Amino acid sequence: MSKYVVAIVGRPNVGKSTFFNRCVGAKQAIVDDAPGVTRDRLYRETDWAGENFLLIDTGGIIPNANEEMSAQVFDQVELAMNESDVIVFMVDGKSGLNGSDETVANLLRKTKKPIILAVNKIDTPPEELNASEFYKLGLGEPITLSAMRGTGGVGDLLDKVVEILRGDSAPNGKKAKRTKFEKAEAQELAEQEDDETRPLSVAIVGRPNVGKSSILNVLAGTKRTIVAPQPGTTRDAIDLTISHKGREITLVDTAGIRRKSKVDYGIEAFAVVRSLRAIDRSDVAVLVLDGTQEIADQDQKIGARIQDSGRAAVIVVNKWDMVENKSSRLMNEFIDRCHAELRMLSYAEVVFTSATSGQRVAKILEAVERAAEQSKKRIGTGLLNQVINEAVALVPPPSSKRGRRLKVYYTTQVSAAPPTFVLFVNDAKLMTKSYETYLERKVRESFGFTGTPLRIIMRAKKETK
């Protein structure tokens, strides 16, 4: 983990997310001409001139905003400023200096953090003259650049960031201080990043407004993401690393995934794509359901995406506090319903929570760790073949229409995460889906594998005479 933190702040639509994407080398933050696209803090590690640092993209500051959403965005920006060692204050060189920039500059000065003034959208040399008016902000010499084109002073700005982080120089004599991340980085550099030491990646997914962000905030112990009653509040996939029983876990809060027919092309469509990608890069996917609603077709489609990705899974039934006449019997009935209607995730553990009260939310991490552990489990070939042979002897494979019967010679596990088995048989085409399901059930009965999908691959092997 990086030992330094750099925050990009400014009013809406000045190009903060474009600069963020330029620095991290990927389209991590959603960019759109409409102001106010970025709402939550978005963290990514990057490096420049041999120095690693954590870069934070923030929502646009709207001074003296009365709207609840704008106020929450400001709270997120304020948290980012407090966390940071250096602040990049970005302004719009095309539209010029305005009152909002001056108000934001006054807010930044109160942080007593090193501030770099970046004048963005300077696409041609003549436009550099536009930067002169920003001297009025009293934040030192502005650096002109074009984040969209990657031209101008992009490199100069990053050089200045590194200078300050190393303590060589800083505006107004302010120097960056090493943060709480320093010890973590030193420890990680001493250890090789393998399956045991790297953070466990957990994607929190589901339909809009089921409580994904609320769950993340409870797990984080802080108001990290914006929560609002209207669906679609979260747009970026938000990463947050926490510690649980000595193990680092990276939680990824994602945008709600609606049916494709209801998603307009643009910001929401890109957000949904990022949510689906978050599943693919996770170790465990947490599918959040609304306990007050029926399981929907979209829940099934998200479940199918998780299963197809090969990721371990946990099903979370949120808003359980709002369900009437709760009882252990009702809970068991709901579990049966989940496994029946989300058949593709029938292996997943079901956890009942209330993000509003925080009840049982901690159980999610326990289930996540169990699922991750099971997904990495390996079974010895001898023991595995014993179970498969007994299963075949108990229920012989069905014969084909031509009277040919499937023969299973031997089985071996070839990989984990997800556990993948190869069955060497006489003819792979003779394996029916129902018999494959039967063998999978027998493997699970013998070895567990709760929370993880299993992959079974058929390989034809010629019979020896």
User: Among the residues of 92-201, which ranges form H helices?
Assistant: 99-109, 154-165, 181-190
Show me where the domains of the chain are located: 5-185, 191-375, 381-460
Cβ neighbours, 10 Å, residue 109: 14
Q: Residue 64: which region, alpha, beta or left (left: phi > 0; alpha: psi -120 to 50)?
A: left
Amino acid at 132: S
Q: Which CATH number fits domain 191-375: 3.40.50.300, 3.30.70.100, 1.10.3720.10, 3.40.50.2300?
A: 3.40.50.300
Top CATH class of 5-185 equals alpha beta
* CA–CA–CA angle 94, 96, 98 (5° rounding): 145
User: Each residue's pLDDT tens digit in the chain (465 positions)?
Assistant: 456 889 999 888 899 989 998 898 765 554 444 444 444 457 777 889 888 888 888 877 876 655 544 455 566 677 778 778 999 999 999 999 988 899 888 888 888 899 999 999 999 988 998 899 999 999 999 999 999 998 889 999 999 999 999 885 555 445 555 443 344 334 433 433 455 567 899 999 998 889 998 998 899 886 544 444 444 444 445 678 888 888 899 998 776 555 544 544 344 444 556 667 788 889 999 999 999 999 998 899 899 999 999 999 999 999 999 998 888 899 999 999 999 999 999 999 999 999 999 999 999 999 999 999 999 999 989 889 989 999 999 999 988 878 889 999 999 999 999 999 999 999 999 999 999 999 999 999 999 999 999 999 999 976 544
According to CATH, what is the number of the domain 381-460?
3.30.300.20
DSSP E strands in 75-216: the ranges are 86-92, 115-120, 143-146, 151-152, 200-206
Hey, do 5-185 and 191-375 end up sharing a CATH topology, with the first three levels equal? yes
